[in-house]
Chains A and B, each alone.
Chain A
Amino acid sequence: MLGALVIVFREVIEAGLVIGIVLAVTKGAHGSRAFVFGGVAAGALGASVVALFADALSQAVAGRGQELFNAGVLAIAVVMLAWHNIWMARHGRELASELAAAGRAAASGDKSFLALALVVALAVLREGSEVALFLYGILASGESAADLLTGGVAGLLLGALVSALTYFGLVNIPARHLFAVTTAMITLLAAGLAAQCASFLQQAWIVTALSQTVWDTSGVLPDSSLFGRVLHTLIGYVDQPTALQLVVYVATLAAITIAGRLAAPRARAANAHAAAE
C-alpha cells in the first residue's frame, strides 16, 4: 500500500503544485475557479484516455510516440505560461490596482485564464495518465487490489494537499508582492518544463546535440526525492542535466523575462494613461 502511495504521490506532486500556483494567480478573479477546475477535469478525462491507449501511443512514430506526446504537451504548456506572463505584464497594472480587482479582471482576463486552465489540464493529463495506468494495472492484476488502491487514492489526496498548501502559502503573500512572486514562479516553471521537453526529445533520440551531462548532484539531492521533486517543478531542478536542457532552460528564462519587459507599458505612459482616465 505504501508503495502505491509513494508512486502515485510522486506522479501527482507536479500537477498539484501547478494547480496551487494557478489557483493563487487567478485568485479573486470572478469565474476563474470554473476555468481551473474545468482544466483539472478535462486533464483527468484526457489522462484516462491516454492510459487506455498507452500501448498504441508508445508504438506510434517508430516507438517514439510517448516521448513526442510528452514533449508536445510540455511545449504547449510552456507557450501558454509565457503567453500568460506577457499578457499579465501588459495588463497587470490594471489588475493590480484594487479598483479593478474582481469584475474587470474577469472580463478582460478570460483569455489569460483559459491559457492557465490549459496549463492545468496539460499537467494533469501528463502526470495523470501514468497514475491512471498504474491504478488500472492494479485493478487488472487483482493482486491485493483493495490495499494498493487505498494507497493510490491516498497518494492522490496527498497531491491535493500539495495544491492546497501551495495555494494558501501563496495567497498569504501581501497582495502588492503577489504579482511579482507569481510572475517569477511562472517564469521558472515554464523554463523547467521547457528543459523537460528538451530531455524527452533527447530520450527519443530526436535531438542528439548537447547530450553531455553538465553536473551530477544526484548524490546530494536526487531529483527523485520528495524535496528534489518539488524543486524540479518549482525551478526545474535536475540532478544530471544535459547541456541542451541547461541551454533551453536559460533561453526560456531569458525569453520570457525580456518579452515581459517589452510588453510592459512604460511607466510614464501608464501614468499619463491613468491621469487621463
Chain B
Amino acid sequence: MKSSQILLVAAALATGAVAAVAADETSLQLSIKDHRFSPAELHAPADKPIAIVVKNLDSTPEEFESKALKIEKVVAGAAEITVRLRPLKPGRYQFVGEYHEATAKGALVVE
C-alpha cells in the first residue's frame, strides 16, 4: 500500500540522512570547455567521500554521466553543478558528457 511505501522511503531517508553529512570530503574541480573535460583525469584518495564541482564554460548544456559512478546530472550552459560521490574503492572510473560523447571523456582515478 502506498502509505507503507511512504514509510519505507521515510525510514530510508532517516537512516541515510544521519550518515550523509561528510566532514572529510575530497573536493575536486572539473571544467568543460569546447565539449572537453579539463583535466581529463582526476585523482582522489580511496574510501573517502568526494565532491566534484563541474563547471561548464561552454554556452551549451551538458550531461555529466558515469555508469561506473552511477551519476547522471545535467549541467546547464555557463553553469556549474556539484557531483557527490560515495567513498570509492581504488580504480579507474570513467565519465562522459552525454551530449558530446565523442569529445567529452574523462576518468576519475581513485588510489
Contact A83 B2 (CB under 8 A): yes
Interface size on A, residues (CB 8 A): 54
CB of A204 within 8 A of chain B?
Answer: yes
B 1-45 contacts with A by CB, 8 A: 1-2, 4-6, 8-9, 12-13, 15-17, 19-20, 22
Nearest CB of chain A from residue B7's CB, rounded to whole Å: 10
Pick the contact of A251: B5, B60, B71 (CB < 8 A): B5
CB of A78 within 8 A of chain B?
Answer: yes
Contact B5 A82 (CB under 8 A): yes
Pick the contact of A207: B15, B59, B81 (CB < 8 A): B15
Contact A66 B1 (CB under 8 A): no
CB of B82 within 8 A of chain A?
Answer: yes
Nearest CB of chain A from residue B45's CB, rounded to whole Å: 17
Contact B76 A54 (CB under 8 A): yes
Pick the contact of A63: B2, B4, B82 (CB < 8 A): B82
A259 to B2 alpha-carbon distance, docked (Å): 8
Contact A208 B67 (CB under 8 A): no
Contact A248 B86 (CB under 8 A): no
A210 to chain B: closest residue by CB: B12
Q: Which residues of B contact A48 (CB under 8 A)?
A: none
A240 to B93 alpha-carbon distance, docked (Å): 14
Contact B19 A133 (CB under 8 A): no
CB of A201 within 8 A of chain B?
Answer: yes
**B contacts with A: majority SS:** mixed
Nearest CB of chain B from residue A203's CB, rounded to whole Å: 6
A222 to B9 alpha-carbon distance, docked (Å): 27
A52 to chain B: closest residue by CB: B76
Nearest CB of chain A from residue B55's CB, rounded to whole Å: 12
Nearest CB of chain A from residue B93's CB, rounded to whole Å: 12
A 220-263 contacts with B by CB, 8 A: 222, 224, 239-240, 242, 244, 248, 251-252, 255-256, 258-259, 262
Given the contacts A58-B74, A137-B61, A141-B60, A207 and B12 also touching, CB distance less than 8 Å: yes
Contact B61 A255 (CB under 8 A): no
Contact A255 B5 (CB under 8 A): yes
Fill in one digit per residue for A132-175: 1 if any B CB lies within 8 Å of its CB, else 0. Answer: 01101110110000000000000000000000000000000000
Contact B61 A207 (CB under 8 A): no
Q: Which residues of B contact A54 (CB under 8 A)?
A: 61, 74, 76, 79
Q: Which residues of B contact A58 (CB under 8 A)?
A: 73-76, 79, 81
B 48-86 contacts with A by CB, 8 A: 49, 58-61, 63, 67, 70-77, 79, 81-82, 84, 86
Contact B61 A133 (CB under 8 A): yes
Q: Which residues of A contact B76 (CB under 8 A)?
A: 54-55, 58, 133
List 10 A–B pairs whose Cβ atoms lie within 8 Å, in order of A's numbering. Answer: A54-B76, A79-B2, A134-B61, A137-B60, A203-B71, A205-B49, A209-B16, A218-B67, A258-B1, A259-B2
**Pairs of residues from A and B, 7 with the lowest C-beta to C-beta distance, nearest first:** A207-B16, A63-B82, A137-B60, A259-B1, A55-B79, A55-B76, A205-B84
What would 6 more interface pairs be, CB under 8 Å, given A207-B17, A209-B15? A202-B86, A204-B84, A207-B20, A240-B70, A242-B70, A248-B8
Residues of A within 8 A of B (CB): 3, 7, 54-55, 58-59, 62-64, 66-67, 75, 78-79, 82-83, 86, 130, 133-134, 136-138, 140-141, 194, 197-199, 201-209, 211, 218, 222, 224, 239-240, 242, 244, 248, 251-252, 255-256, 258-259, 262
